[in-house]
Amino acid sequence: MQNAIRLALCFLCFCVLEWSSSNHAQEVDTPVAALDSTVPISTTRTGLPAALENEAAWKLLPESQSSRTAKLPNWARTLVAHMPNTTAALLQLDYAHRQSGPVDRRLRSAMRWVAAKANGCSVMMNVAHEDGLRFGEKENRLLALKMDDYSLWSKSEQAALEFALAMTVDSDGYSDDQFQKLVDMYSPEIVGSMVLHLAFANFQDRLCNCLGIDQAQDNPLPPIDYGFDMGQLAEVANATTPSSSPSSPSSSSPAAAIVTKEPKSIDTVQVKTEQPQDYTWLDYSGLQERLLKQRTRSSRLPSPDWSKTAALLPPGLMDGPTEIVWYQLAFGYAHELAVPFEYYLQIASQDVRRSWDRTFGGCLFWMVTDSIHCPYCMGHCEMNWEVAGLDTNKIESLSRSLAGSDWSNFSKPQQSALEFARKVTKTPFAISRSDVQSLRDGFGDQQAVHILLQCSRYNYMVRISNGFQLTLESDNVFWDYYKMPRPKR
C-alpha cells in the first residue's frame, strides 16, 4: 500500500515538474516568438526550416543497406536538408550509442536521461525513457529517477548516475579518486564506454536544442541501423584528408567573406588588454601553466597496446599507430563507439571543408574548451592553429585575444559566434531563436548550421578529454594525422 501511494505521489510530482519544465523552456526561448501567429509554422522553435517529410528526407540521404522507409527522427529530418552525409553518419552514431558497448542497456538509458535532463533536452529525455522501457527497465525506477530519487538503484548504479551528472555539468570537477572508484566498481572498458556515451549525449542534446526540436514535435523512435558500406565509407573519409594547408576557406565561402570585411583578419589580431573577462577560465599565463601541468600528468587509464587495438579497427580507418592520446584510449577501451564517431568526424569535415574557416573554427573550439575547463583540448586548439598556418606569435596573439576583454578585432558576426559557442556549452537549455538568428544573419543559413553543429560536437570532445584526463602530447600530433609534412624547426 505504501509503495502504491509513493508511486502515485512520484507520478503526480513528475506531472507538475513536466508542466513547470515546459513553461520554463518557453520563458527561456522568447515565448512571444513561439506563440505569435505571425511566426511561420514551417520553422522549428529556433527558427530553422522545419523537418522534411520522411520520404523527402530519405531521398537526400546517401545509399544504405537498410530499409529506406523507416521513420526518421525529427532532428535528422531537420538537419538532412543542410548536411545529408553528416546526417547519415549521425544516424549510425546514434545507433551505436543506443545498441552497442558493454554498459548495461538499462543503466545506459538512465545515464542518458540524467544528462538530457541537465541539458534541458526534452526530446532525448523522452528517447532515453522509452529506451529504458524497451530494454526492460521498471517504470517505478524511471519515475523515481525523474524525481532525482536514486534510492531504488544500487550503490554502483548510483555512482554511475552521479558520474553522468558530473560529466554533464562539471566534467573537470570529477576527481581522479572518484573515477578510480567507478573503475573498481565496473571495469576500465565499461567506464571507458561510459565516458564516450556521456560525451555523445552532451553533443546530441545540444544539437537538438540548437535545431529547435521539442518533445511535442517528436515521438521517440527506435534507433536506425543505417547500414553504411564500411569500405565505401572509408573512401569517403579518406577523401577528407587535406592535400595542402587546411587553413584557408574557399574565397567564396561565407566565413572568408566575413573575415575580409574587417580591416584585420583573425590571423593578425592584436591584443589590446591583458585583463580577462569574468567569464574566461584563466588568463593567457594561467592557461599556459595548466597546459604544462596537463603534459606532465598521466591519463586516468593506461594506453592499451596498439597492436591489439588495431585488430579491432576496420581496414583503412587508421594507417598505423597514433601518437594522439585521445585515439589510444577511445579506440582502446570503446572501439564500438569510437569508430562510428571517427567516421562521423571525417564525413562532417568533408561536408563543411569548402566553406569552413579552420582558423576561426579553432576559435570556436577554444571558447568551448575555456567554458568547460579542458586543458587537453586547449592544447589541441594551439596545435590545429599551427597546422592551419599560424606561427607561434600569431597563435599567442589569438589565444591572448580570446582570453582578454577586447574582441574588437573580430567582426561582429564572429563575436556573436564566439558568444554562441560559450552559451551552448554553459547553458544549452537557454539557446533561443535570437541566438540562432544572429548566426544566420552573420553567416547565412548553411554556415550557421555548420557553426551550431560544430559547437555541439566540440562538447563531445572536451568531455572525453576531461573524462579520461588525457595526457597532453608534447609535440604537435596533427601533422601526421592530416598527412602533412612537419615544418623544419
pLDDT of residue 238: 53
Type of residue found at 114: V
d(CA 459, CA 260): 29
Identify which of 400, 378, 399 has the alpha carbon closest to the alpha carbon of residue 473. Answer: 378
d(CA 66, CA 69): 9
Per-residue pLDDT band for 261 (boundaries 50, 70, 90) equals very low
Identify which of 371, 33, 334 has the alpha carbon closest to the alpha carbon of residue 171. Answer: 371
d(CA 114, CA 133): 15
Helical packing angle, 445-468 and 155-169, nearest 10°: 130
Type of residue found at 158: Q
Chain segment 305-364, per-residue pLDDT in tens: 999 999 999 988 888 899 999 999 999 999 999 999 999 998 888 877 777 898 999 999
Q: Which residue has the cell 574582441?
A: 407
pLDDT beyond 50 at 256 = no
Residue 49's φ and ψ, nearest 5 degrees, are: -55, 135
- Across the range 243-268, mean pLDDT stands at 35
Residue 216's CB: how many other CB atoms inside 10 A? 11
Q: Percentage of residues in the chain with pLDDT exceeding 70? A: 80
Residue 138's φ and ψ, nearest 5 degrees, are: -85, 140
Torsion over CA: 469, 470, 472, 476 (sign) = negative
- Contact in structure between 433 and 45 (CB atoms under 8 Å): yes
Chain segment 191-230, per-residue pLDDT in tens: 999 999 999 999 999 999 999 987 665 678 999 987 766 4
pLDDT of residue 251: 30
- Contact in structure between 444 and 184 (CB atoms under 8 Å): no
d(CA 23, CA 20): 5
Helical packing angle, 392-403 and 284-296, nearest 10°: 110
Reduce the DSSP state of residue 43 to 3 states and report it: strand
Residue 461's CB: how many other CB atoms inside 10 A? 21
Indicate the DSSP class of residue 283: -
Reduce the DSSP state of residue 49 to 3 states and report it: strand
Chain segment 149-189, per-residue pLDDT in tens: 999 999 999 999 999 999 999 999 999 999 999 999 999 99
d(CA 116, CA 121): 5
Of the two residues 108 and 19, the one the predictor is more confident about is: 108
- Contact in structure between 473 and 324 (CB atoms under 8 Å): yes
Chain segment 384-434, per-residue pLDDT in tens: 999 999 999 999 999 999 998 788 889 999 999 999 999 999 999 999 999
Identify which of 116, 155, 151 has the alpha carbon closest to the alpha carbon of residue 132. Answer: 116
Q: Which three cell numbers stand for residue 309?
A: 587495438
Reduce the DSSP state of residue 276 to 3 states and report it: strand
- Contact in structure between 193 and 60 (CB atoms under 8 Å): no
Which residues is 276 bridged to in the sheet?
A: 404
**For the chain, which domains are there?**
98-217 (1.20.1290.10), 253-481 (1.20.1290.10)
- Contact in structure between 180 and 300 (CB atoms under 8 Å): yes
Identify which of 348, 356, 359 has the alpha carbon closest to the alpha carbon of residue 394. Answer: 359
219 Cβ partners below 8 Å, 6+ apart?
none
d(CA 403, CA 284): 6
pTM score: 0.85
Type of residue found at 58: W
Helical packing angle, 392-403 and 358-372, nearest 10°: 50
Type of residue found at 146: K
